[in-house]
Structure 1
Amino acid sequence: MPVSSLPALLGALSLPFSLQAASTATPPFDLAGRTVVATFQGEGAQIYACKAGPDGALTWTFREPVAALIESGKTVGRHFAGPRWELEDGSLVQGKMAQSQPGASVQDVPLLKLDVVSHEGHGRLDGVTAVYRLNTRGGVLQGACTTPGAMQSVPYAADYVFAW
């Protein structure tokens, strides 16, 4: 999906929380010795699928994120399965989870530190070695699933910090 089509897709989501600017609170992960390359607000949805677990019971399983990356009120990129982040300048990074901490409430997806495992293209994300998901709001699916293969999306927002 091209970055330019994200605003229309995400406009259909109703976000049940206030989307605030990045918090000035102390980050939950140690950023000492790192250089912050960019910070974007992510707005979108966490997508879940209803699947049978090892015991045969149906459970919601995280499938993928779908989010716009926003800077100064303008969509400049997207976040999607992998997990990957792609900017309009063609730079793309893929991450692998390194650390996780609980969100501020049970409705908030966890805060994450992800190590970058691959790069594509050239642009602002060149040389980035870590991505941090901070200040999460929403994204956790609650309730039982009853239909195998059913999908649910849960609106969320987060700040994404890219560093080396």
Structure 2
Amino acid sequence: MFMKLAAPCLFLLAAMAGPAVAADPLPDAIAAPGESVVLSVHAEGAQVYECKTAADGKLAWAFREPVATLLSEGKTVGRHYAGPNWELADGSAVVGKAIGNAPGATAADIPWLKLEVASRRGSGTLTPVTTVQRINTHGGKLEGSCDKAGDFKSAPYSADYVFLKKS
């Protein structure tokens, strides 16, 4: 009886423990040597796509924006949205610009990213951040054709975001 109850409890505790640690070393394209971790959070949300006319004249899904909740130790600490923006409950926020990427673990996973902070607002935990890494992605890619320009569709995803500062 005890083992039947213990296994689900241990699984739940492991899930709430926080973000997984990235594989060492990270791919060169997203590594940030000489920078130290300010905060690491887990994100759960969706990648939103819009049906648009592609360069070849055919309709195709184009990435529009992320919509995600940022979690630490199982508690909501902020949000991630178009920009890309990361905003914490303490009022600090950063906007990133992608400067490197590496493939996700599977074809269904969005890429891992390295973003430099292009702007910041408020003051708090994210104030000193200079680099953001998106790692341990799961899902988020949208495949298939779209039929009507202007339609929207989302693909669930999760990832870990690591906020770094220059040491």
Is the TM-score greater than 0.5? yes
Post-superposition Cα deviations, 1:26-81, rounded to whole Å, max 9, x if no partner, equal: 12232321110000001000000000112320000000000000000000000000
Q: Distance in 1 between matches of 2:122 and 2:85?
A: 13
- Per-residue CA deviation, residues 88-111 of structure 1 (Å, 9 max, x unaligned), is 000000000000111111100000
Deviation at 1:24, TM superposition (A): 4.5
Unaligned runs of 5+ in 2: 1-14
Runs of 4+ in 1 over 2 A off after TM superposition: 18-21, 27-32
Deviates more, 1:121-130 or 1:23-32: 23-32
Deviates more, 1:26-35 or 1:81-90: 26-35
CA distance in 2, matches of 1:51, 1:157: 25
Percentage of matched positions with identical amino acids: 52
Aligned pairs (5 A) from 1:39-78: 39-78=40-79
> Does the CA-based 8 Å contact 2:19-2:72 persist in structure 1?
no
Q: Structure 2 counterpart of 1:156, which letter?
A: Y
TM-score w.r.t. length of structure 1: 0.86
Partners in 1 of 2:22 and 2:156 — Cα distance? Answer: 23
Task: Give the CA deviation at 1:127.
Answer: 1.2
Gaps of 5+ in 1: 1-17
Give me the whole-angstrom Cα distance separating, in 2, the residues matched to 1:73 and 1:130: 24
TM-score (norm 2): 0.84
Aligned length in residues: 147
